[in-house]
Chain A
């Protein structure tokens, strides 16, 4: 089989080469000038053909792929993103069709002709000023829209936000929910133990004892309630990618990052919108993290209301209770009063680069 393919490829090469050589002999036989003029006309028409073909291709591509795109945004920030994407698409689309159109139109229109000479036009300050100013103004507008949304997305999370910690490790996501005390306890990477303390929680910190940990990467949120993700990593850099929410944030070892948004479409609603019973919000790792990168998958469940989430949380057993029998290493120094803002920060960590 592979021999046949190889033979075919060689054959195609030989044929193309023979045709190419033949065309060169033909050039030698006929007057070179005539052949050149003929080639030039052919190429000018082929340029037009390519443009027409290209425009048709863009149309077809759009028609075929649009049904496969993401459904409406499931987060409030994502709605802004979608609007901004539209604005940017329109602006760049105009420039695209204008410039590509001119490029191919000029190519055809000003193909070499025997009697004509080119127009000596070395510069024109007015024109150059125009096409410096217009792009500059357009860019200024796009920057303004972009930064407005950017500062909103990266602002401090609202006070009523649900707090959840998302920690990446090769190659899965570990999700931690605060218990009744609404606070995440302290962690220290030196206390990590894959069997009984997957995040290295410091059991001297009482805030840790009611924390719920989900090692299968299931992130439970509530429709309409802002959520602040406290993001960390155990080993290499990962990235919490939430395509349906149009959000993304790196998980960096040694540094705590955060991101917040408000889910606006619950899982149940999205199943109805997409007409897909199997629909599921997914967490995709978006930063190359090793050989299992492509399989580092988590899921998001957006509950219809807080009561549903509370019911789900109530069914979970705190991680401490699950692993009580096997008390691990000596506790780390510096255990203080638990405070919500200390979530995810280690006693020794001097540096926090969160989005504040």
Chain B
């Protein structure tokens, strides 16, 4: 086992001694200076692994599977929206009695949109994104052998896995999965008679989400503890790459807001099953009056959005961090305004807790309270704007290499601008009163947190794939994937702004009976066609990903992107423990992209300062 010879004080202590390693590593972990040659059993190496890199890959692959399911659901309901008068036998093949004769039933349409939202927001863009990059990158980029608690880290994945199993099983119950929207507002979600999806499917949804929260909390605690305590010598907080900063704040937001969501769900479980009235009052349904009196459905909305809004930053921040690092790396130029980037992350993090009720402007909330949330919401545009201008300045006078990760990072910025600006519309209550719950909102949040978070994720996957698997993904397929996704996303979501301004409500199964909205039928068909093409474009990525794991071009040099950060100082195939021998010491910040005097255009963090050179 490797022993760090120097102790660097409490904050930078390297707690990766024998005692901290997972048990199976003691008898045969193939890592560290000793260089054992006994491979651990397959089960412990790949399944119940405590190696952060394997756990990261587990999150990633589970996330990819969920993404395919979630995206496929959107294709199913886009078929209905695009051609409400036609039947599609393929739907019956997939969905059985929910699409008799190839015609999707309204109940299952609502289940599909609900599950599409739940899956993509939580299982893909929270667990799949943060789970992947926080686990994979934090120890590698801060110079640690593993997470603070590898065992808890493993539990985090397995709670996510159980949550996935429960959520997946809810797709097959007789009354169908949750159909109340990903927000699942009571009373619709609380009363079994209100909707088919509010039966056992809803209970399973709530249980899965509760398990999911446990997984997020276990992961988040680990990320924060690791970043604060396990940085290598010289890796001060202000030398951390922005990806790590972003993942740090992501974890902080999750730790502070997920418990509130859980409490909201627990109360909902009580209302559903134990006769309480937290959210229910004065309800007459299905021919009889319910006994509940005195509850408030609005309470649920407050509890839900107290996580629900920070959640969009949980989804966004990792992408922001990844984009910052990749723009700098592939433009061969330091990220502009490193400290401003951190401060804007702090700003976004703190404001993210003070804007939740902008989702509730038309709930009947006090107008004065609404005005406070308008102010806070538009205030959050300031740190976001700072980030955009800093990204633009980062590529200004750079030496841009249009690698696949770079084009996705540029695409991220473009999507973030387009989606972010429309937030200024819906964040202003006087405009929201018309735009609320229309396609404008769909366009807004898909661009700003759906598509751009995916662009950040794709950029990260293409960039760190060589580190994960020791091979490259195919470039040509990567470019094709980029263009299909970039053009497709704009073609899908740009025209939706118009539908929203025209007042077209979201979550409608069919618009043909509406005098005010039926004129968009042609547009809806067009959007559906583009959505289907874009979906198949994503399969190119999946194909590329899995084939490249075994067949991709091999990585031949330890630092293929010419990056400054620590993960590229490990061997091409790092074992558990990451570095052979000692963990390198850090001497400079993560963005020294400049002439090193020897013909290179970057100076790795491990290179000591030259004589007379000042640290950033």
Contact = CB atoms under 8 A, between A and B. Distances in A.
B365 A353 contact: yes
Contacts of A21: 474
B553 A24 contact: yes
A349 B293 CA distance: 8
B364 A235 contact: no
A43 interface: yes
Most chain B Cβ neighbours within 10 Å, of A21, A135, A292: A135
A23 to B, nearest CB: 5
Given A95-B421, A118-B399, A120-B334, A293 B477 contact: no
Contacts of B44: none
A154 interface: yes
A228 to B, nearest CB: 14
Contact of B494 (A39, A61, A128, A354): A61
Given A68-B498, A107-B410, A297-B513, A16 B480 contact: yes
B120 interface: no
B436 interface: yes
Nearest to A238: B188
Contacts of B335: 122
B430 A149 contact: yes
A50 B295 CA distance: 53
Interface string A164-198: 00000110000000000000000001101010000
B601 A355 contact: no
B425 A85 contact: yes
B333 A135 contact: no
Contact of B410 (A57, A103, A248): A103
Contacts of B234: none
Contacts of B294: 254, 350-351
A80 B188 contact: no
A169 B333 CA distance: 60
Given A92-B425, A254-B281, A286-B436, 6 more contacts: A131-B386, A136-B382, A139-B378, A142-B378, A278-B515, A295-B510
Given A118-B332, A118-B601, A150-B371, A287 B187 contact: no
B402 A20 contact: no
Nearest to B180: A288
Interface stretch (A217-225, A239-247, A320-328): A239-247
Interface stretch (A108-116, A201-209, A309-317, A335-343): A108-116
Interface stretch (B163-171, B191-199, B577-585): B191-199
Interface stretch (B212-220, B313-321, B457-465, B587-595): B587-595
B334 A121 contact: yes
B297 A293 contact: no
B574 interface: no
6 contacts: A103-B413, A112-B402, A123-B337, A142-B424, A192-B289, A254-B296
Most A C-beta atoms less than 10 A away, residue of B90, B363, B388, B616: B363
Contacts of B434: 78, 81, 243, 246-248
A253 B187 contact: yes
A355 B386 contact: no
Contacts of A239: 362, 437
A266 interface: no
Contacts, number: 390
A82 to B, nearest CB: 9
Contacts of A273: none
B511 A294 contact: yes
A85 B431 contact: yes
B571 interface: no
Nearest to A190: B289
Nearest to B283: A253
A285 interface: yes
Contacts of B90: 2
A297 B514 contact: yes
A249 B371 contact: no
Interface stretch (B23-31, B32-40, B221-229, B516-524): B516-524
A35 to B, nearest CB: 10
- Max chain A Cβ within 10 angstroms of own Cβ: one of B293, B431, B514: B431
A96 interface: yes
A131 to B, nearest CB: 4
Interface in B287-313: 287, 289, 293-298
Contacts of A254: 280-283, 293-297
Contacts of B159: none
A57 B490 contact: yes
Contacts of B487: 50, 53
Interface string A1-26: 01000000100110011011101100
Contact of A123 (B333, B340, B486): B340
A355 B332 contact: no
A150 B429 contact: yes
A288 B284 contact: no
B107 A291 contact: yes
Q: Which of B375, B402, B515, B616 has the most C-beta atoms of chain A within 10 angstroms of its own C-beta?
A: B402
B365 A110 contact: no
B495 interface: yes
Nearest to B335: A122
Interface stretch (B128-136, B203-211, B248-256, B501-509): B501-509
A252 B298 contact: yes
A256 B389 CA distance: 45
Contacts of A88: 424-425, 428, 431
A294 B498 contact: no
A302 interface: no
Interface in B335-394: 335-340, 362-367, 370-371, 374-375, 378-379, 381-382, 385-386, 388-390, 392-393
B407 interface: yes
B549 interface: no
B282 A349 contact: yes
Interface stretch (B5-13, B535-543, B604-612): B535-543
A280 interface: yes
A145 B424 CA distance: 13
Nearest to B114: A288
Interface in A222-281: 231, 234-237, 239, 241, 243-244, 246-250, 252-255, 257, 278-280
Contact of A69 (B393, B494, B501, B591): B501
B43 interface: no
B397 A146 contact: no
Given A170-B285, A286-B505, A139 B397 contact: no
Nearest to B301: A237
A122 B78 CA distance: 46
A157 interface: no
Q: Specify which of A69, A91, A136, A236 lies most central, judged by the most chain B CB atoms within 10 Å of its CB.
A: A236
B503 A284 contact: yes
Interface in B407-424: 407, 410, 413-414, 417-418, 421-422, 424
A296 B374 CA distance: 30
A291 B196 contact: yes
A128 B390 contact: yes
B336 A65 contact: no
Contacts of B41: none
Contacts of A119: 333, 396-398
A349 B389 CA distance: 52
Contact of A253 (B297, B333, B410, B436): B297
A56 to B, nearest CB: 12
